[in-house]
Amino acid sequence: MNRELKEVAEVLGLDATLTTYVARHTFATTLNWKDVSVEVISQRMGHKSIATTRAYLKRLPNKVLDTVDELL
């Protein structure tokens, strides 16, 4: 999966490393920005613990966020 994401980044000319880890953080952060509750985000991500979800909600480096903003 990470190999495919790397290829997507190359095709799109993105100067960022896309991985499943980054994708999951982006998914959680985007829902959080849209005021989706942590409980719902946790459920959608398949987490058994909200503490795990909260770890995903920590800020990503600005370079990654800027790249994601360009895509959205």
Distance of alpha carbon 67 from alpha carbon 41, whole angstroms: 22
* Mean pLDDT per 10-residue segment, the chain (72 residues): 86 84 85 90 94 78 62 62
12 is in which domain, residue-wise?
2-71
Long-range contact pairs involving 24-33 (C-beta distance under 8 Å, separation at least 24): 24/56, 25/56, 25/58, 25/60, 26/60, 26/64, 26/68, 28/53, 28/56, 28/57, 29/56, 29/57, 29/59, 29/60, 29/65, 30/68, 30/72, 32/57
Per the structure, the count of domains in the chain is 1
Look at residue 40 in the predicted model and tell me its pLDDT. Answer: 95
Look at residue 29 in the predicted model and tell me its pLDDT. Answer: 85
Looking at the whole model, is its pTM more than 0.75? no
